[in-house]
Structure 1
Amino acid sequence: MKQIKGPAIFLAQFAGNESPFNNFTEICQWASNLGFKGIQIPSWDGRLFDLLKAADSQVYCDEITGIAAEHGLVITELSTHLQGQLVAVNPAYDEMFDSFAPDEVKKNPAARTQWAINQMMAAAKASQRLGLQSHASFSGALLWHTMYPWPQRPQGLVEQGFKELAARWLPILNAFDDAGVDVCYELHPGEDLHDGVTFERFLEATGNHPRANILYDPSHFVLQQLDYLAFIDIYHERIKAFHVKDAEFNPSGRSGVYGGYQSWIDRPGRFRSLGDGQVDFNGIFSKLTQHGFDGWAVIEWECCIKHPLDGAREGVDFVNKHLIRPTERAFDDFAGMGADEVLNNKILGIK
């Protein structure tokens, strides 16, 4: 068994226009003062990070890792959630997802897709220069609008959709393979990769690409009512990143999994700060440790009630409390006997 590293924090929800959240040095100081040991960087946020510069310049990457190290921090992963989303966008969502793209490619879906692919290629190189092993992203979606179909889907639609999704991602996965970095898809409602079955479909369509892996976030499984502990047993070999995020599901006689178009605070399924939801983190940390996961436990703060700064501060102690140092020996070794083939034969009744 190996030990999970942490605590770390995803900076996306904290970046802003005011100090200390508007530049890399000060946000590192803030995270360090709270007790974090790692940071996951949102690569699209120019206030904190320049992705294209990182892809081209080892000097810049060394500067970034050096600033983090000065504050006792390690960069755990880069994130391209927004860019990964734009690798595959169904036209039904063009207007909404244009907000993720730079002005020069808005209202031009083909240019936007190519921009996103170029961003992913840059992220592979930047991750390599930073010495990272994993990368966090979204898959994008061509099929999501047919998730609960009426009328029924035409035959072959799902297979065709995953074939196209794989075709867009294969060059990216190959670039990450060349860089020695795993792409970890956060399985998330709204993405074509949102549960185990859809991840398996994608794996099959990519020829079981070795760099197609999983960012495990149990909160999204609570909202789907998926067994998030059994998921670890099934997919642990592909889990290469971990978001520590809490959630709760409180169905009523008026609303269930789909949420009734309500705001987050009124939905039956909603994200909560660590310890305020229903996720069994004792079970999660135990299973991940049992299966040898040695990546980072990265807090992703999202809560419809609690202030983010309180969630970050409380999250440090929460993760530290759940980290498990694996045992190096069995609890009953004191009563054990050394290897003795003759004795074993006697016990087995073998002459």
Structure 2
Amino acid sequence: MASLVIAEHDNASIKPATLNTVTAAAQCGGDVHVLVAGANAAEAAKAAGQIAGVSKVIHADGAHFEHGLAENMAAQVLAIASNYSHILFPATASGKNIAPRVAAKLDVAQISDIIKVDGPKTFERPIYAGNAIATVESSDATMVITVRTTAFDPAAATGGSGAVESASGVADSGKATFLGSEIAKNDRPELTAAKIIVSGGRAMGSSEKFNEVLTPLADKLGAALGASRAAVDAGYAPNDWQVGQTGKIVAPQLYIACGISGAIQHLAGMKDSKVIVAINKDPEAPIFSVADYGLEADLFTAVPELISQL
């Protein structure tokens, strides 16, 4: 029995979500192999071989893998799927795009967003926005799994000695073509990988106030900026800052929630943070139920005072 992790990478290096997924794969039992499908991705494959716990890296190279198009990636996974009992993807936009295609073609049930491995065939996953945890047991011969990366510690990026094996890449499916991308450039840490996050909610009142009040605090702490869905919908913050059930799932060392009431959908995306600090003038705000430290105060007064003390 062996597990296959589908690596996320930029053709030169491995993305952090892959490391968490390797940890989950190791807990399933058996050897852990990693598939690196890309264009001129030899460096990424080499990096994957150095991940602790990885015994083999399968490197499939082809120009049509450069941008990780789901149609081509799924076909490559299916070409080697029969060798594995578990196929694991990070529960990212990419993983959630590829995994259902693989599960459908294999005619198996996808096990989504696992947060714990209880055994080779038994997993735990959140349901009802994290208010209940379902224990799922699969009888499928091949398990297709997406992993909530914040629930697993990352495997060490170095210290491994996995052999890199070249594999024949499948042909371009011709079903999709990459036309271009617009990448938002940000000097701050990426939200899902940040150790500290400062988030704002509807109470910020405007995008100007959002930036005026929260940006200096994030600068002081070297933090990423996040937002509730209400703040994003109101136009106070860009969509890729959204934290929550319909946004990004985060688990930083420190999460500072400013003017966020704590709707269940938002809590589902950040309640696994190691330390949660809430600043809200409403003493009944649900955010206080998950906060380690709560400050009942006007954020427009409290945040500048906090910045002055840092």
Instruction: Identify the TM-score tier after normalising by the shorter chain.
Output: under 0.3
Structure with greater contact order relative to length (CA < 8 Å, sep ≥ 6): 1
More helix by share: 1
TM-score (norm 2): 0.27
| Greater radius of gyration (CA) | 1
TM-score (norm 1): 0.24
More strand by share: 2
